[in-house]
Amino acid sequence: MNSCILMAQIIQDPELRYTADTQTPIAQMLVQFPGQRAEDPPTTLKVVGWGNFAHEIKEQYSVGDRVVIEGRLSMNTIERPEGFKEKRAELTASRIYKLGADTSFEPHVSTSATTDEAPAPTSSTRSNVNVVPMRTPKRAAPVSDTSQVERNYGYPATDESDFEPATVPTSVPGNLESQKDLDDIPF
């Protein structure tokens, strides 16, 4: 499934146009987001929306708005007049959320050690077969004989008999070659 969530700033007002054959509305705009590292220049990406969503984009968003965009990322190949082909990324938006003016692209680091409210747990509908669960202890009994411990790591020593093996799915493919990312997107 191709799904992308991007936080960006609109740098070109949405432009509304229509397809020639069915007169389907299309809104397109340019957004910009910071590079991977501080010294990297910002990246610009074309965002499009179709149908009634195109009208909504045109009416509700403008240059300078900070937004979170959900959609599909695609690569378009364009034949250039100079005789070479150019690939351009395009995000087809399915949802857009406007952020407040105080929203920053920098990661937020909390200065307090404790919080009153714990974040809500998230659930994943897709399981990753490459992740093997850790073994869990059979019992939580303190270790009484610590004479054989060579180093003190700040936790009690346990022996292998205190653990039971974790169940591992049998459908994990053995060939690592089949798990390579074969995507042709250059970034």
Q: What is the pLDDT of residues 48-82, one digit of tens each?
A: 999 999 999 999 999 999 999 999 999 989 898 99
In which band, very low, low, confident or very high, does the pLDDT at 108 lie, cut at 50, 70 and 90? very low
What pLDDT is stored for residue 122 in this prediction?
Answer: 40
Long-range contacts of 105-113, Cβ-Cβ distance < 8 Å, separation of 24 or more: 105/7, 105/9, 105/33, 105/34
pLDDT at 161 exceeding the cut of 60: no
178 Cβ contact list (under 8 Å, min separation 6): none
Report the share of the chain in percent with pLDDT over 90: 43
In which band, very low, low, confident or very high, does the pLDDT at 100 lie, cut at 50, 70 and 90? confident
Mean pLDDT of 128-138: 49
Report the share of the chain in percent with pLDDT over 70: 53
What pLDDT is stored for residue 61 in this prediction?
Answer: 93
Asked whether 27 and 16 are in contact (CB, 8 A), the reply is yes
Fold designation for 4-98: OB fold (Dihydrolipoamide Acetyltransferase, E2P) (2.40.50)
What pLDDT is stored for residue 112 in this prediction?
Answer: 37
Asked whether 87 and 77 are in contact (CB, 8 A), the reply is yes
In which band, very low, low, confident or very high, does the pLDDT at 32 lie, cut at 50, 70 and 90? very high
H or E stretch covering 24? none
Identify residue 58 by its one-letter amino acid code: K
pLDDT at 15 exceeding the cut of 90: yes
What pLDDT is stored for residue 36 in this prediction?
Answer: 84
Domain ranges of the chain: 4-98
Rounded-to-10 torsion of CA 80, 50, 60, 42: -30
In which band, very low, low, confident or very high, does the pLDDT at 33 lie, cut at 50, 70 and 90? very high
